[in-house]
A and B are shown apart, each in its own frame.
Chain A
Amino acid sequence: MSSLDIKHLNKSYGSVQVLHDINLEIPENAFVVFVGPSGCGKSTLLRSIAGLEEIDSGEIILEGRDVAKEAPVDRDFAMVFQSYALYPQMTVRDNIGFALSVAGRPKAEIHRKVDEVAQMLRLTEYLDRKPADLSGGQRQRVAIGRAILRSPKAFLFDEPLSNLDAELRVDMRLQIAELRRQMSATFIYVTHDQVEAMTLADQIVVLRAGRIEQVGSPMELYHHPANSFVASFIGSPKMNLLSVADLGLAGESAATLGVRPEHLSIGADGALEGTIAAIENLGPVSYAYVDVRGARVTVQLPPAHGFALEEAVKIGWADDALHRFDAEGRRI
């Protein structure tokens, strides 16, 4: 039995439908990441699961029980918000212990549990401070502590790292991965950062315009994207999508060819001729951006490549590295 089962979920704001017939099975203790471009409905789906948004129709089944009509607290989920959502007038201790305080638990029990969580998240020395006196990373740890304290069946994360700087984001990402190993719970995580999705997820759900495009493991999505949207969304730099008609590739049945930058090579026998428009040297790897008949193609280069701007080159690929898509973008 799956931990969380979403069936035929629909959600509208007025006349605008934002989630269309969402069906999703989330296995017990899985780390599931919702990704997609802005406005695709990933946060709305998370908030609907949390109970913060009322759904139009559908079921949210948690261990055999439909919780779609239940209040947020009765669903046994805990949520970490993008803006941390810490109560500014309360200390860190009061913030973490708020749920138990509201539930009327004895003060001694709240104190003990808050101490345990603070120790786990290395927050003990900050317990008497107010959120305004903490750094972004510390605030986010407090928000996570508040979620942990309730020992929920599932943790819901709504873009929790997007307000942090790049270095802190990597650190917090590792902490969340460590937390996941320590906790026996399902994690549902919303992000638009596909590096977070690829590194944290057991299962990625790609959304576009309120519909699920594909569900699968990170490597499955990377190597076998169901359509050109998923192909271009997963992977950084993104997959090159080459129009067969524009490039005049003879004998090709597909409308679009997809090929990842690392599967392209520059050599004398390449099929496409172009000019290098830009080169990015990142250290361990470099990328050349080659203009080919009006299209921009990204090619991964070795660190010591020796190519120069405006250089005319030929790009080639191994046939088994190609992804073929029809005119509607579906994988062939």
Chain B
Amino acid sequence: MHKIFSLSRKEQLAVQFILIAWACVVLIPLGVAVINSFKPNLGEVYRAPLALPSEWTWSNYAEAWVGANFGGYFLNSAIVSLSVVVIVCFCASTTAFVLVRMPFRGSALLFACFMIGVIIPIRLALAPLFTIVKGLGLLDTLTGLILVQSASMMPVAVFILTAFLKSVPSELEDAARMDGALPFQIYWRVVLPLIRPALATVALLSFVQAWNEYFLPLIFLQSSELYPLTLGIAEFRAQFSVQWHLMFAGILIMLAPTVIAFLLASRQFIEGLTQGGVKE
């Protein structure tokens, strides 16, 4: 790769120091959580919070999982997050396909509406949203929460996918039309595999957003058996307010799926963010 500028050795050291310092800022709290989540009792956490455990134990994880109903919260989070991913990926990709490839009267206005959705946070529309969800009889249901969270992710997803789709040559779709493919076949068999990196980006963002969402479940759910992990962990905090070793285990259980999702999709994620910026 051609270097547009080169750093002197001192400058390189300075840059590396800043990057390492920033990595420490990010990783130290996580490391502290990991270390303390394996400590056998609270005393060790208080005595030496930065020291390694005298005895490594998984019991905190088991206790958090069983004792605080983490299994139920985890399942609810998984249902909500995976449903949001599926709905957003399907709806946003079909929407982007139509907006980019089949423009119609008003499609520019529709796209502008999605862009307004990117700018304006969904929380500003909470009162009408609450009324709509209540009117539909979906208050205090996972379905209602899934639909609201999916809608909140749609603008960003449509924005990413339309930008990516514009970089896919339209001759491929012309070729598919000549071959007799119907619009849905073109979308499904030709376009969808080509926008996979962008789709992975959207899936990852949707999953992380849905998994970590605290505010929307708080508003739209009332029954504790429907709570996702974010609300569950708040309950957990109230129940085990001073049990830091259990708290850390709970936080790490919650964190694990997003880390795994990012690791699985990271290559496609980066491609999705960068592809289309330059013409190959």
Contacts and interface: CB of A to CB of B under 8 A. Distances in A.
A85 B180 contact: no
Nearest to A79: B178
Contacts of A126: none
Contact of A85 (B169, B185, B193): B169
B175 A81 contact: yes
A297 to B, nearest CB: 42
Nearest to A78: B178
Which of B172, B176, B179, B190 has the most A CB atoms < 10 Å from its CB? B179
B63 interface: no
Interface string B120-146: 000000000000000000000000000
B190 A73 contact: no
B193 A89 contact: yes
A73 B177 contact: yes
Interface string B164-178: 000001011011111
Contacts of A34: none
Contacts of B177: 51-52, 71-73
Contacts of B175: 79, 81, 85-87, 146
B171 A81 contact: yes
A99 interface: yes
Interface in A89-105: 89, 98-99, 102-103
A87 B174 CA distance: 11
B180 A73 contact: yes
B194 A88 contact: yes
Contacts, number: 56
Interface string A50-93: 11100000000000000000011100011101110111110000
Interface residues of A, number: 24
Nearest to A71: B177
B148 interface: no
A81 B193 contact: no
Nearest to B177: A72
Which of B174, B175, B177, B190 has the most A CB atoms < 10 Å from its CB? B175
A99 B172 contact: no
Contacts of B78: none
B182 to A, nearest CB: 8
Given A79-B175, A81-B174, A102 B181 contact: yes
A229 to B, nearest CB: 30
B171 A85 contact: yes
A81 B170 CA distance: 11
Contact of A73 (B172, B179, B193, B194): B179
B174 A85 contact: yes
B200 to A, nearest CB: 14
B117 to A, nearest CB: 30
Contacts of B189: 87, 102
Contacts of A73: 177-180
Interface string B97-131: 00000000000000000000000000000000000
Given A72-B180, A87-B189, 12 more contacts: A77-B178, A78-B178, A81-B171, A81-B175, A85-B169, A85-B172, A85-B174, A86-B175, A87-B172, A99-B180, A102-B181, A102-B189
Interface of A: 47, 50-52, 71-73, 77-79, 81-83, 85-89, 98-99, 102-103, 146, 150
Interface of B: 169, 171-172, 174-181, 185, 189-190, 193-194
The 4 closest A-B pairs by CB, nearest first: A73-B180, A85-B175, A99-B179, A89-B193
26 contacts: A50-B178, A51-B177, A52-B174, A52-B177, A73-B178, A73-B180, A79-B174, A79-B178, A81-B174, A81-B175, A83-B171, A85-B171, A85-B175, A86-B175, A87-B175, A87-B176, A87-B193, A98-B179, A98-B181, A99-B180, A102-B176, A102-B179, A102-B181, A102-B185, A102-B189, A150-B179
